[in-house]
Amino acid sequence: MNLASYGHCLRGVVSRELLRFVHQRSRFVAALVRPLVWLFVFAAGFRMALGVAMTEPYQTYVLYEVYIVPGLVGMIQLFNGMQSSLSMVYDREMGSMRVLLVSPFPRWFLLVSKLLAGTLVSIVQVYVFLAIAYLYGVQAPLAGYVLVLPALVVTGFMVGALGMLLSTFVRQLENFAGIMNFVIFPMFFLSSALYPLWRIREGSYLVYQIAALNPFTYAVEMIRFAMYERFHAVASSISLVTALVLLGLAILAYNPARGMMARKGGGGE
Amino acid sequence: MPFLIGRSASRARHLGRSAIGPASLGLLLGAALVVWPTLALAERVFVSNEKDNTVSVIDGETLEVVETIKVGRRPRAMAFSSDGSELFVAVGDDEAIDMVDLESLKVVRTLSSGEDPEVIRVDPNRPYVYVSNEDDNIVSVLDYQQRRLVTEIPVGVEPEGVGISPDGKWLIATTETSNMAHIVDLETMEAVHHRLMGARPRHAEFTADGSEAWVSAEVGATVSIIDMQETFDVSHTIRFDVPGVPRETVQAVGVALTSDGRYGFVALGPSNRVAVIDQQSYEVLDYLLVGQRVWHLALNADESRLYTTNGVSGDVTVIDVGDLEAIRSIPVGRFPWGVVVEP
């Protein structure tokens, strides 16, 4: 197998994911409506009209709708990552996972390709959302829209790998609701997506400590800083390391000999 | 502006002291030549911190506090002497005006001002400073060169804002309890017109051509435009309504007017907003979010920036006048009150 065949395989996995995304228009609309409802309804009703106090990376006071946008970007990627995990459970049930995993390419490559595909889809969703937010008046510096791209890739891999790992625990599609309740909501609400950490600390020290341990907090801060042309070394490192660890665990879990698949009786039941 | 050049020279000397050896002298000289114009252009912003008894000095280039000057108790309004060599700071609890030398940034003289001086203005033609003495219901006129009281002008109850026309012909004193603007002829030093304003008038500012005076009312949340050419009456009243903000938090205080006649800016107190107004149509164009309890405003020399003091959050917000956008908030001392930018 040469590099070209790897490329061919990658193209196949990515184009399948993109095709699936394009054909599921309702999924695209849902992926956009969710953060937009938060932006237009939640942030508007909860405007903090007197401004969110000065907090890094903002150089001055901002309205709540400006503060919440990086968190909503993270939310898009989080939902998309979980959606991918849902599709992997579906693939396993339908048997297409077996087709993928019996290919001659190494398992890690197939899984990384799958993650890359999911990340690409989430990035498309993020940029459409950011464009709408821009027209609504939430405008970051133009360079920030380019600088945020690496942060989106890291976040996409992080939440995608998490979804992949979780998919090994989920036997049936119906269990996805459990993932929603026990993964997406706590990760999103117990992070700095909706309120700055110092604000959470004022409310509850315990919640603050949980939020400070939540890797999603760091992904959101990495995105927030990148959008405002700043590099948050700590947040970026934590996000990247978390992404790599989760990816490693997911690859391990998908190993029929050792991982969760072995315990459940194979990768494509 | 000789003091500006002197200041640049002293900074250049400071650069020279940090040289490592003679070999780098040439390099340093070259660098100094490149840096020179930037330094000469750098403006200084002075902010009085009411609770800290200090004046913070912000570098207009780096937007950082570079110096903190110790002054008397409760510093509020500030003004530059007409020759630009000194900064006057009204220190209310000391019943005096501290005079800060702009070279050394130290209080070099103190002028007794009468009870509780709050707002001060400098006469453009004579070495006079006008001081509102809240408790005495007068505006004191002091000669800061001869250090003597020239006269006292009786006005209404609790004088607060003082505005002076660019030609030095008129002075407006606003009185908080009388709710009036008293128009004083500076030739005779007598109040010749008295006009009713919104509740608790706070600040008076003349347009660059002197044809109008804008008087803000804190409780009334209005700005009254006084025609200073013929009638001396209120020709228009601007009202404010910040969406999503309780009405009682909207309090009009500081006013700044661009000299090109384009914009008027009004600080709206605890609503944390600065209103942007079309100076010709009096239409409110926008409300810009700044720090908490915005009090006074100052434009820089080329009017590209507006500085606001935010009393409760203890910072200064910098607004880009071209983009009408808040670009930075700089922490200063406790309860920043007044702001002036070196002319």
Q: Tell me if A51 and B289 make a contact (CB, 8 A cut-off).
A: yes
Residue in B with minimal Cα distance to A48: B244
Say which of B242, B243, B329 has its CB closest to residue A61.
B329
Say which of B242, B245, B326 has its CB closest to residue A61.
B326
- Compute the average pLDDT of residues A90-111: 78
CA distance B303 to B301: 5
Indicate the pLDDT class of residue A263, thresholds 50, 70 and 90.
low
Domain span at B26: 1-41
Burial class (CB in 10 A: 0-12, 13-18, 19+), B324: middle
Task: State how far residue A31 is from chain B, nearest Cα, in angstroms.
Answer: 29
Q: How many CB pairs under 8 A join A and B?
A: 43
Say which of B243, B244, B290 has its CB closest to residue A61.
B290
Q: Residue A49: what pLDDT?
A: 61
Which site among B250, B287, B289 would you substitute to test the A interface, given the most A Cβ atoms closer than 10 Å to its Cβ?
B289
Indicate the pLDDT class of residue A102, thresholds 50, 70 and 90.
confident
Interhelix angle A64-94/A215-227, nearest 10 degrees: 130
The DSSP code for A258 is T
Q: Is residue B1, in this structure, part of any structural domain at all?
A: yes
Tokens 């910040």, residue located = B242
How high does pLDDT run on average in chain B? 88
Is B74's pLDDT higher than 90? yes
Q: Is residue B17, in this structure, part of any structural domain at all?
A: yes
CA distance A60 to A66: 12
In this structure, of A82-91, A153-162, A209-218, the range with the lowest mean pLDDT score is A82-91
Residue in B with minimal Cα distance to A51: B289
Q: Is residue B263, in this structure, part of any structural domain at all?
A: no
Say which of A50, A53, A60 has its CB closest to residue B326.
A60
Q: Which residues of A touch B (CB under 8 A)?
A: 47, 49-51, 53-54, 59-63
Residue in A with minimal Cα distance to B245: A49
Residues facing residue B308 across a β-bridge? B297, B317
Tokens describing residue A189:
């609400």
pLDDT tens for B37-60 read 444 457 999 999 999 999 999 999
Contacts B328 to A, Cβ<8 Å: 59-60
Q: Is residue B5, in this structure, part of any structural domain at all?
A: yes
Q: Is residue B227, in this structure, part of any structural domain at all?
A: no
In this structure, of A21-30, B108-117, B264-273, the range with the lowest mean pLDDT score is A21-30
pLDDT tens for B301-333 read 999 999 999 999 999 999 999 999 999 999 999
Contacts B318 to A, Cβ<8 Å: 60
CA distance A56 to A234: 14
Contacts B326 to A, Cβ<8 Å: 60-61
Q: Is residue B235, in this structure, part of any structural domain at all?
A: no
Q: Is residue B60, in this structure, part of any structural domain at all?
A: no
Residue A206 CB: number of other CB atoms within 10 A? 9
Count of structural domains within chain B:
1
pLDDT tens for A185-221 read 899 999 999 888 888 888 889 999 999 999 999 999 9
Is residue A123 within 8 Å of residue A153, measured between CB atoms? yes
**Is the sign of the CA dihedral B15, B21, B27, B33 positive or negative?**
positive
The residue with greater pLDDT, B5 or A262, is: A262
CB under 8 Å to A94, separation ≥6 — which residues? Answer: none
- Compute the average pLDDT of residues B1-30: 38
CA distance B69 to B88: 12
Say which of A49, A53, A54 has its CB closest to residue B244.
A49
What was the ipTM of the complex prediction? 0.72
Is residue B181 within 8 Å of residue B173, measured between CB atoms? yes
Q: Which residues of B touch A (CB under 8 A)?
A: 242-245, 249, 270-272, 289-292, 313, 315, 317-318, 326-329
pLDDT tens for B265-305 read 999 999 999 999 999 999 999 999 999 999 999 999 999 99
Exposed e or buried b per residue across A150-175, where buried means at least 16 C-beta atoms within 10 angstroms of its C-beta: ebbbbbbbbbbbbbbbbbbebeeeee
Q: Tell me if A49 and B242 make a contact (CB, 8 A cut-off).
A: yes
Q: Is residue B24, in this structure, part of any structural domain at all?
A: yes
Q: Tell me if B327 and A60 make a contact (CB, 8 A cut-off).
A: yes
Task: State how far residue A51 is from chain B, nearest Cα, in angstroms.
Answer: 7
CA distance B61 to B44: 9
Indicate the pLDDT class of residue B132, thresholds 50, 70 and 90.
very high
Contacts B272 to A, Cβ<8 Å: 50-51, 61
Contacts B313 to A, Cβ<8 Å: 53-54, 61
